[in-house]
Each structure stands twice: as C-alpha cells, then as structure tokens.
Structure 1
Amino acid sequence: MSPTSSTPPWDVHRLPRAEGSVFLVTGGNAGIGYFIAEQLSATGATVVLGCRDPARAEAAVTSIRSRVPGAQVRAIRLDLADLASLSAAVESLEVSALHAVVHNAGVALDAPPRRETGDGHELMFGTNHLGHFALTGLLMPLLSAAPAARVVTVGSFAAKSERLDLDDLQSRRDYQAKRTYGRTKLAQMYFGLELDRRLRTLGSSVESAVVHPGGALDALTPSRPTVHVRSLGARLCAAPAALLVQGKHAGAWPAVRAVLDPAARGGELWGPRLFSLRGAPRQEAVWSHLADAAVAAGLWDASWDLTAVDPTCLRGQAMRAGPWPTGG
C-alpha cells in the first residue's frame, strides 16, 4: 500500500519515533545490517544486534552509541549456521515481545570449494535461508506478543536473474559460488512472501515483507571507524558508479522503511526508487518468478523438513520433537 495524500512523504533523514519498540537485526555488526541498526537506533527503539562474532558486535555497538546519543542498543550472540544454538540466542533476548526482526545476516563466498555447516547444509543456503527460516519460528511467540509486528527479509537484486531448483537446493549438482549465493537470497525472498501468505491465512497480526538494497558498494559507504573505513582512493575510484548505485547506508533504507512505515504492508517488496538500484525506498512490483506459489510451497516444505521448525507456530514450541535433521 502506498502512503495516502494525507501522509507526509517518507524522508530517510526524518524517521518516525519508535520508543518502546524492540527490533532485532541479524548481522547488524557490518555492512547494510550495521546501517539498518544505526538508523533504527535513532528512532528511540531498543535495537538488538544478532551477531556471530562478539568482538565485531561490540565494535558496532560502540560505533552506534558514538553517533546516536542515548541509543538503546545491545548485542546477542547469533550463529545462523548452527541451528541447535538458535533457541539459546532467542532466550538471550530477554524480552516479552519483539516488534520487528530484520533478516539481514548472510554469508557470501566468492569461489569454490563448496562448504557445509555443522548440520551438513551447504554453507550459504544453511546460513542465509535455513538459519533465518528456523529463527523466525523460534521468534514467532515474541512477535505475536507485539501489536502488528513485522518480519523484514533482506534479499538481493542479484536474485532477480536466478531461479530455484527444488531438486538441488543444497547445490550438490550445480555449485557456482555466486550463483548459489543469488539462489539463497532468492530462497529468502520466497520465504518472506510465503510467510506472509500463511500468516494471513492464520489471522496473525504479524506481517512479513521483503526488501532488497539495490546496488550497494563499500566504496560509496561513509566511514564508521572500527566497523568500516573508506579510503580517499576508493571513494574517488567509485565516484562514477554513484550515478547508478549507492553506499550501504542507502542500501539500508528499504529495510528501515519496511520496519517503520505505517503504510507498509506484509507481502510487499521494497527497493530503491531509481532503476531498483539507488535512491529513496519505494514499494515495487513483486518479481514475476517470486509469485510462483508451487515453488514457494515446495521450498517451504523442504525447509521445514531440514530444520524441524515451523515458522508459523504462533504460540508455544515451534520445534518438532527429536534431533535436528542433517544433510538433505
């Protein structure tokens, strides 16, 4: 839904206040995730960074506090590649309700060899998709306890040219690092949209939206010492690219809007305004292949089998009884 004429235009530099809200940002210690967390912290909300590396998490918390006076920000240890650890991570939140989770964390490998998580899943698929799929189920009671909570999944523009092979989700037959990464981000986007469809069927107050950052480069990203430092040389070399793409601070804008904008709704896709690559965030048409209900359902069933978690369990235990499945 687009803002009505009575709603002030969205301004990425004048965000609505969100005191009393609690937001979890996975991978909030670096890249786009860091800037999502920094921007959400400026609203007065409590922001929790879910990070695998405690030292990098602390550096990010320190950076946010130095830039946002009075920021209510902290970190928990979260390793999406270790499914058995996720319950403890959720417990460590120590909150009675969660108003939004931003699924941002991810692994991107540039080259072979293919690697696996300790659970036997291809590393990028296991971390980027399965970890967030399972985490959502474990967070659902907290999300359901908040009024109109939101799940915001950060996909990638690279996923627009990819297609899922339901018979090879783990890239056992066809592993190409960049292609596999794009497919894992596509899987996340399918999940985010399918989650909303299922939540609507259940009459849940939780909504799920999908975003992508467009083209976001480190060289166009402002420095945040101890988190990210941009050299003058890198800035000058990347200057021509700024006509088409942007920095990661701007790549955060669609996710931040999907969390905060009262006009945003579940089932929507948000991205940059200009050619879906740069600019202010806007709602865009859901890509045609993301509307394939059969693929979405097949991915959901496979993910449930591989994680033993039901993301639409609104109360109580989301996990099936028994050990974590492996392989597949």
Structure 2
Amino acid sequence: MSSVARVRSWDVHRLPAAGGRTFLVTGGNAGIGYFVAEQLAGTGATVVLGSRDAVKAEAALASIRARVPGAAVRHLRLDLAELGSLKASVDALGLDRLDGVVHNAGVALDHPPRQETKDGHELMFGVNHLGHFALTAWLAPLLEAAGSARIVTTGSFAAKSERLDLDDLQNVRDYDPERTYGRSKLAQILFALELDRRLRAAGSTALSVIAHPGGALDGLTPSRPPVHVRTTGERLRALPLGLFVQGKEAGAWPAVRALLDPEVRGGQMWGPRMFELRGRPRNAPLWKHLTDTDVAAGLWEASRELAGVEPEF
C-alpha cells in the first residue's frame, strides 16, 4: 500500500479498537495530554493519567467519563520533578505489562529566574527530559512484557532552532526561559531517537516514536469544563489563526496515531500534514540536527549519570 493511501486510510475520528490494552499518558489531566487520554479512552483501552495534582486529575477523569460512556480511566500520582519518587509510582500502577506510554507532561516557563527541581536540576530540563528518561527506565520491564509497546515522546517546534551544549545541559551559564524550554524539548527528541537505536540493537519489539502537535492554541480548543473552558470571545479572536494552526484536540492526533497505527515505525516523527502546523498526522522528515548520533549518545550518558538510572530493554 502506498504511503498516500496509508495517510488517507487513517481516520482521526474512527480510531482502531484497543480494548485489552493499557496506556499511560503523563500530564494527561490537561492540555494536549487530556485529549490524548480522551481519544484513547474512546478506543476501549485502559488509560492511566499520570499527574501530580489529584484534584485536576479527578476533574479530567470526570470529563472523560462524561464524554466516553464506560471509559476505563484512572489516575496515577506522578511527579517528574522528583526522580526518587518514580519507582514507587510505577510500582503503584499494579501492572504486569504496559502497552504504551505518551511522554507528554512538561513545564514551560515564561520569565526568569532560573528554577530547579527538588533534585537540583534546572526545572524544564529536569521535568521535560530527565523525568521522562528516568520514568522510561522504571517502565522498561512492563513495556518489554507487552511484546510490542510504544514509547511516544512529545516534541515541539521550539526544538527546531535550538542546539544542545553537552557541557551546560542545566543551562547554568546560558539561561533564557524560551531557549531553555526549546533545549529541553530537543533533549527529549534526541533521547527518543537514541532510545529507538538502542531498542533495535537489543532486538526489542518495543518502538520509540516522536510526535509533535504543531501549533495548538487554547482559543481553537473545544471546551471540556472544568478542564478547559473556551469563551466565545477567545474562539472568535482565534478563528483567523485557524488557517495556520489548530486546537489541542487536533494537537493530540499525532501522538495517538504514533501509539496506535500498525504502520508506524521506530525512530519516526509524526506531526500535522500542513506545514507541520495543522492538519491530520503524517510521518514527517526529521530535522537535520536530529540525526547527530554523537550528541544523542552524549546526552544519553549525561542523563544516565544525572538521573541515576538508565532505560534497559
């Protein structure tokens, strides 16, 4: 079947059934993560929302259940800013296998000063990258037990113009909130690619895939009270932008496809079709600097030392 036919055969509104499978979505209580969880719940899968805020998670669960009758959803307390807590969180899953995880949770700061996690890591690098790196390490046995698991990492256009300094991953010398966020997302993407190379070398059947949402705005996102409430004014102001970008419901489509589509392969990046900003998901070409395997391997080694654990399959 041609690649064009495959793209056309994937219907974002008629997803394949996934009953009997279990997925974890980090940051599934809000934003794009919420819509990933809602869409997955509609397939019959069991969906676990990883969130440190139990109140927000319960609101998200109630919203999903109201829209998806019989949805199998639950909350897992997960704090990616506290690496030492992650093993206990994984143990609390109470699972003997996990069919997939969407590394979606993230922190984006708008203003200085530089902040740190409880472990002393720069906050955005520590949560967005190191937290997911360590979480993958603890999830590895469950993912391997599933036989054909997917590890989907959420990328961002913010990473396209950034480069990593392996001697200053914590952005001590060169801290700017916007640049630091972009670098944390670049670290996530490079980790996902290096992870897939290691999975292939180990003969694992698990796949590591990148998904990026394109341009996803609150004003174009349908309301899901109380998780997200869009006013009429916000919708009207955002309508002209709908020619170029989309809402967070559509921003979830690449991650959902990366998780469910049997045509997806490890090491791919899935994003919106139209200028990588909006539209239905497709396999997008990797940006040139993402192919630097030396930087990815160096990041892996540094992350292993900083996190104190390493994903092994």
TM-score (norm 2): 0.98
| Counterpart secondary structure, 2:283 | strand
Corresponding residue of 1:112: 112
2:208 corresponds in structure 1 to 208
Q: Could you tell me how far 1:147 is from its partner in structure 2?
A: 1.9
Q: Percent identity?
A: 68
Q: Structure 2: state its 5+ residue gaps.
A: none
Q: 1:36 to 1:211 in 2, by over 3 A?
A: same
SS in 2 for 1:105: coil
Note if contact 2:217-2:246 (Cα within 8 Å) is conserved in structure 1. yes
Question: Which residue does 1:321 correspond to in 2?
Answer: none
Q: CA deviation at 1:3?
A: 4.9
**Which letter maps to 2:163?**
R
Secondary structure, in 3 states, of the residue corresponding to 2:98? coil
1:156-171 to 2 correspondences below 5 Å = 156-171=156-171
Partner of 2:154: 154
| Shift in alpha-carbon separation, 1:8–1:179, aligned structure 2, 3 A | closer
- State how far apart, in whole Å, the 1-side matches of 2:52 and 2:179 are: 24
The one-letter code of the counterpart of 1:285 is P
1:227 corresponds in structure 2 to 227
Moved over 4 A (4+): 1-8
CA contact 1:2–1:263 (8 Å) conserved in 2: no
Structure-1 separation of matches of 2:236 and 2:8: 36
1:298 aligns with 2:298: yes
Partner in structure 1 of residue 179 of structure 2: 179
- How many angstroms apart in 2 are the aligned matches of 1:145 and 1:3? 30
Equivalent residue, structure 1, for 2:62: 62
- Counterpart CA distance in 1 for 2:5 and 2:272 is 21
Q: What is the distance in 2 between the residues matched to 1:207 and 1:216? A: 26
RMSD: 1.3
Paired residue for 2:96? 96
Q: 1:262 to 1:53 in 2, by over 3 A?
A: same
Partners of 1:3 and 1:264 lie apart in 2 by: 11
- Contact 1:189-1:210 within 8 A present in 2 as well: yes
Structure 1: distance between partners of 2:67 and 2:276? 29
**Residue in 2 aligned with 1:121?**
121
Counterparts in 2 of 1:110 and 1:8: CA distance versus 1, 3 Å: closer
| Number of equivalenced pairs | 313
Distance apart, 1:5 and its partner CA: 4.8
Matches for 1:1-80 after TM superposition, within 5 Å:
3=3, 5=5, 9-80=9-80
Maintained 8 Å contact 1:2/1:283: no
Question: Could you say what secondary structure the match of 1:73 adopts?
Answer: strand
Tell me which residue corresponds to 1:274: 274
Look up the match of 1:138: 138
Please state whether the residue corresponding to 1:145 is helix, strand or coil: helix
- CA deviation profile, 1:26-46 (whole Å, cap 9, x unmatched): 000000000000000000000
* TM-superposed deviation, 1:205: 1.0
8 Å CA contact retained: 1:209, 1:268: yes
The structural deviation recorded for 1:284 is 0.8
Whole-angstrom distance in 1 between the partners of 2:36 and 2:285: 23
What is the TM-score of this pair, normalised by structure 1?
A: 0.94
Instruction: Determine the C-alpha separation between the residues in 1 that align with 2:52 and 2:6.
Output: 43
Asked if the contact 2:54–2:77 (Cα under 8 Å) also holds between the matched residues in 1, the reply is yes
**Counterpart of 1:17 in 2: which secondary structure?**
coil
Q: Distance in 1 between matches of 2:13 and 2:186?
A: 29
- Letter of the structure 2 residue corresponding to residue 18 of structure 1: A
- Residue 20 to residue 238, structure 1, CA distance change in 2 (3 Å): same
In the alignment, is the contact (CA less than 8 A) between 2:216 and 2:245 conserved in 1? yes
Amino acid at match of 2:245: V
Q: Take 1:8 and 1:113, find their aligned partners in 2: how far apart are those partners?
A: 47
SS of the residue 1:69 aligns to: coil
Measured in 1, the distance between the counterparts of 2:278 and 2:163 equals 24
| DSSP 3-state at the match of 1:198 | helix
